Chains A and B, each alone.
Chain A
Amino acid sequence: MPHDHLSPSGHPYRPDQDHPLTYWQQMEIALRELLIEKGVTTAAEIQSQIEAMDARTPANGAAVVARAWTDPSFREALMADASEATRGMGFDIGPMRLIAVENTAEVHNMIVCTLCSCYPRNLLGLPPDWYKSRAYRSRTVREPRKVLAEFGVELPPGTTVRVHDSTADMRYIVIPARPAGTEGLDAAALAALVTRDSMIGTGLPRQP
């Protein structure tokens, strides 16, 4: 069975159900059971939390970007208060606050968290492994252009790079520049061009 260990997205699963139980898995099971018995949480609450987590994907962020590209008053509200503007679309960031930063012909923004791995999970889902890596966390604040080159991003001459180190209570989403030749596209077609990495600043939107 060649596909046993691939998920629907084609990535290998972490060792799970049919592998030997690890010490840390024992701890997860034991802690979960104790918290349910003590009435801190319930099995249903844990399950619905996991479902909510699985439902949060970069498609949320892409919908925000596409709306910012097509609706000038939304774009203005987003740049003024991104937490409030995205909450209006149903993407509640909870206790954190959101800042949207916009790429233009002159400025390219890029997000990192050098101290841990803060990430706008409500708009982009769980962070990719590379975002949490020592290499990305260490190098992005010192040599962002070299890091961008590793992601295949070449910026036109004259572009200023703005790195944002997510050190405290804010989370960030990059609003990439709208690709040329997309004037006739509606918001749904535009959203399909917006990649996860383009909203972290390590990529650019797809061309139509």
Chain B
Amino acid sequence: MDKVETGRRWHDMGGDAAGPVPDAQHDFALWEKRVDALMVLCSGKGHFTVDGLRRVLEDMGEEAFETMTYYERWIASVSQNLVEAGVITQSELATRMEEVAARGPTYGEASGG
């Protein structure tokens, strides 16, 4: 059944037809583990909830699910929730991102190790 016609949302996928379950597996990079740690710490300290994390992931839409990696979507959602909670502002995040990018072309250089 068409999801838009019924009000069913893209992430609510139980029962849909789909191909074989994929068996590729990757370990997580350091930056991905850091995203996970920031989520656990910020939600544990009460700045937002796992429900808020999911709400933004859902609102990001199906294209984000198909084109971004799991922790790319998470860092977007964690940042969005922290802006909404007033912990950071959009402009300080954007300004700091420019400073980070100016440090060097790789993650290692830009993160200072």
Q: Are A40 and B87 in contact (CB under 8 A)?
A: yes
Which of A35, A41, A46, A132 contacts B70 (CB under 8 A)?
A: A132
How many residue pairs between the two chains, A and B, have CB atoms under 8 Å in the bound complex?
183
Q: A19-B106, A24-B76, A114-B13 are in contact. Are A46 and B27 (CB under 8 A)?
A: no
Given the complex, which residues of B lie within 8 Å of A147, measured CB to CB? 21
**Which residues of B lie under 8 Å from residue A112 when comparing CB positions?**
14
Compute how far the CA of A81 lies from the CA of B2 in the bound complex, rounded to whole angstroms. Answer: 41
Does A182 sit within 8 A of B, measured CB to CB? no
Task: Identify which of A26-34, A67-75, A153-161 touches chain B.
Answer: A26-34
Contact B76 A134 (CB under 8 A): no
Contact of B106 among A20, A49, A134 (CB under 8 A): A20
Asked whether A28 lies within 8 Å of B106 as measured between CB atoms, the reply is no
Other than A13-B29, A16-B107, give 10 A-B pairs with Cβ distance below 8 A: A14-B32, A24-B76, A25-B110, A26-B110, A31-B78, A31-B82, A35-B42, A46-B34, A53-B33, A139-B21
A138 engages B18 (CB within 8 Å): yes
B87-113 to A contact mask, C-beta < 8 Å, 1/0 = 110001100110111001111111100
A134-148: CB near B (< 8 Å → 1, else 0) gives 111111011000010
* Interface 0/1 of A58-97, CB less than 8 Å to B: 0000000000000000000000000000000000000000
Number of interface residues of A (CB under 8 A): 58
Whether A115 touches B11, Cβ cut-off 8 Å, given contacts A30-B96, A31-B93, is yes
Q: Let me know if A4 is at the binding interface, CB within 8 A.
A: no
Q: In the complex, what distance in Å separates the CA atom of A35 from the CA atom of B69?
A: 23
B75 and A130: CB pair below 8 A? no
- Enumerate chain B interface residues (CB-CB to A < 8 A): 11-38, 40-42, 45, 47, 54, 57, 65, 68-72, 75-76, 78-79, 82, 87-88, 92-93, 96-97, 99-101, 104-111
- Which chain A residue shows the least CB distance to B66? A134
- B13 partner, pick from A19, A22, A137, A150, beta carbons under 8 A: A137
Is A116 part of the contact surface with B, judged by Cβ < 8 Å?
A: yes
